[in-house]
Amino acid sequence: MKAKDCFELAAEQARKATCKRARCGSVIITDDTHEVIGVGHNGPPLGDESQRTCEAEWDLGIKPKYDKTCCIHAEWRAIFDVLKTNADKISRATLWFMRVDENGEWTDAGEPFCTVCSRLALESGLANFALWVDGKPKIYTTADYNKASYAYYKKA
């Protein structure tokens, strides 16, 4: 399976997103057999609209942008999906992340910055994390993705 195919599967998930701040999707695919073992898109917990709180005014202070949403991140959902049914395969799999715009078109992911996602990916045993950056795949080991996420916030 080609990288673009993996990112398109993640984009299909992103098009299902119900988050009002960003439309993101993730798929987790085994590196050896190319089996999709986990999927996720961002939206309220359990897809329950009564759990949506994004219209409320919250003083979340210094929390980073990625943690100011009420939604479950696409990456979390995909990892939870794998852990429920295919936990034994996660150590030989890559999470492919994609963000789409309001027209469903691919957008650049930028550099890693979500330390919540990077820590969860590392703790789950996931092997790799793939982003679409500057029109091409950028694939990190999960440990390198975690380091890069923290480096994003490092004060000069």
pLDDT at 89: 98
Look-up: residue for tokens 């936990």? Answer: 87
On whether residue 56 sits in a domain, the answer given is no
Both tokens of residue 36? 């999709």
On whether residue 57 sits in a domain, the answer given is no
Note the pLDDT tens digit of each residue in 131-147.
Answer: 999 999 999 999 999 99
Which residue(s) pair with 98 in the sheet? 25
126 lies in which domain range? 3-51+64-151
Q: Is the per-residue pLDDT at 53 higher than 90?
A: no
Give 59's pLDDT tier (boundaries 50, 70, 90).
Answer: low
Note the pLDDT tens digit of each residue in 7-39.
Answer: 999 999 999 999 888 899 999 999 999 999 999
Note the pLDDT tens digit of each residue in 120-134.
Answer: 999 999 999 999 999
- Dihedral pair phi/psi, residue 141, rounded to 5°: -70, 160
Q: Is the per-residue pLDDT at 70 higher than 80?
A: no
On whether residue 146 sits in a domain, the answer given is yes
d(CA 39, CA 60): 29
Both tokens of residue 44? 């309220």
Query: Which segments of 36-135 are extended strands (E)?
Result: 36-41, 93-100, 106-107, 128-133
On whether residue 59 sits in a domain, the answer given is no
Span between the terminal Cα atoms of the chain, in Å: 40
Dihedral of the CA atoms 13, 19, 21, 23 (nearest 10)?
10
- Residue 114 belongs to a domain with what CATH number? 3.40.140.10
Mean pLDDT of 98-109: 95
Mean pLDDT of 55-70: 56
Which residue(s) pair with 41 in the sheet? 25
Number of domains in the chain: 1
On whether residue 78 sits in a domain, the answer given is yes
On whether residue 16 sits in a domain, the answer given is yes
pLDDT, mean over the chain: 89
pLDDT at 48: 75
